[in-house]
Structure 1
């Protein structure tokens, strides 16, 4: 009977798996090879539905173990299941051999690091009040309005919020560019994301050669010192290099 396989990612044929790495349902992870590549797989019981949080954690655990062991891997998105090992060999590896080899060569000796910067909001609001007289004056006037008259200045409060948001956006564009330019020299590629929250300054992934990791970290430390009074900066990683794997 063919046993369905869950696939975590693709590495090079003959790669040594980290000791004790387990996948979904704590099942052992194995390599299924074809040509120059091999898929990281574990058995998936027939009828086993995917999507629970432990499943996602197991997926990330396997890929994280590879990254932290320094083994190049092309991560697959969560939820990749195939009919059996023969299907993994034929439909995944053989059918995409050149593509996987190219991606493994591209990622070899490199790590994905994610740079996140978040405003210290009180500090940035003080900057805005000092630099924008219209905003400062409107804010002062609204603070002096008695509580029982709040409804009368409803639209003024909306206007104040819009002005502050606009001023924040202008600062974000400038600050994000400074942070990206400060960290980028040690990286081969950078992928910025749109800010998800009002306080976010920058959220970007960097593909950094291993031999330049110390240079990247030093650049981020310098940025942290230079902006410590207004931006909190941190680096997450190394991570599975999802951001530098082209979509099929």
Structure 2
């Protein structure tokens, strides 16, 4: 989860409210750190918050705002360590931002140390449905029998069998996905700095995990994941997204 900051904006107030994207080290903020970004820095004691201006009269959050937030943080992460601050975190002025940095300096500095040279990748794995269903039919006599009966007698006459078949298939897929997800994670875990399961396995999802990968090993680890995808290409679909800002590891890294 990203670092969290309470929203505190009075639309009638004079000072310019600021959206806080993330926190970086002041020493890492060279002239090119914000190139191409509609953002500025607020420094306080060795840390700097990356902020953008907010229109106090526009309270609705648009999808474009979330896309911009992610784009800014991912760009920053490509240029050095950044601790993401939770989307939508707004403070009323620069003084309030500086106070936030001062109050949380130790935790934010520890998080930056942990994330230095590392970025997040998100991996999602799902079954190739037709292949896995064929395996279920071949391995489970009850599923095989129910499937044969529903094929032979489609329509209202087989309603009870179809309901039972759906229940058995869903339960079997959930069991298989848990086992297969754990097996995949055991193969992946030794190659990454950390991982965090984003959502549990289900009948439709084998694995949804965030991986914290050292930049120095990123190419090697991605190659290994591609080898794993080729190994299981008949039964699994694997999708890797990254590199990204380390949203899922900010709290693990020392932010409370």
> Under a length normalisation based on structure 2, what TM-score does the superposition of the two structures give?
0.88
Q: Which residue in 2 is equivalent to 1:130?
A: 138
Larger deviation: 9-18 or 202-211? Answer: 9-18
Shift of 1:243: 0.6
Q: 1:46 aligns to what SS in structure 2?
A: coil
Q: Which residue in 1 is equivalent to 2:93?
A: 84
Q: Is 1:188–2:193 an aligned residue pair? A: yes
Deviation digits for residues 172-192 of structure 1, max 9, x if unmatched?
112111211122111121111
Q: 2:51 aligns to what SS in structure 1?
A: strand
Q: Is 1:115–2:117 an aligned residue pair? A: no
Gaps of 5+ in 1: 23-28
Shift of 1:196: 7.4
In the alignment, the residues of structure 1 paired with residue 163 and residue 34 of structure 2 have an alpha-carbon distance, to the nearest angstrom, of 56
In the alignment, the residues of structure 1 paired with residue 15 and residue 218 of structure 2 have an alpha-carbon distance, to the nearest angstrom, of 44
Q: Is 1:13–2:37 an aligned residue pair? A: no
In the alignment, the residues of structure 1 paired with residue 188 and residue 219 of structure 2 have an alpha-carbon distance, to the nearest angstrom, of 12
Compare relative contact order (CA 8 Å, sep 6+) and give the higher one, 1 or 2.
2
Shift of 1:143: 0.6
Q: Which residue in 2 is equivalent to 1:52?
A: 62
Q: 1:200 aligns to what SS in structure 2?
A: coil
Q: Which residue in 1 is equivalent to 2:17?
A: 4
Contact 1:118/1:231 (CA < 8 Å) preserved in 2?
Answer: yes
Contact 2:171/2:203 (CA < 8 Å) preserved in 1?
Answer: no
Contact 2:201/2:207 (CA < 8 Å) preserved in 1?
Answer: no
Tell me the matched-pair count. Answer: 237
Shift of 1:197: 6.2
Alignment root-mean-square deviation, CA: 1.6
Shift of 1:48: 3.1
In the alignment, the residues of structure 2 paired with residue 60 and residue 207 of structure 1 have an alpha-carbon distance, to the nearest angstrom, of 17
In the alignment, the residues of structure 1 paired with residue 61 and residue 15 of structure 2 have an alpha-carbon distance, to the nearest angstrom, of 22
* Structure 1 residues 241 and 50: CA distance shift in structure 2, 3 A: farther
Q: Which residue in 1 is equivalent to 2:211?
A: 206
Contact 1:111/1:208 (CA < 8 Å) preserved in 2?
Answer: yes
* Structure 1 residues 100 and 43: CA distance shift in structure 2, 3 A: same
User: What does 1:1-248 align with in structure 2 at a 5 Å threshold?
Assistant: 1-14=14-27, 15-16=29-30, 17-22=33-38, 29-69=39-79, 71-90=80-99, 92-145=100-153, 147=154, 150-195=155-200, 198-246=203-251, 248=256
Gaps of 5+ in 2: 1-13
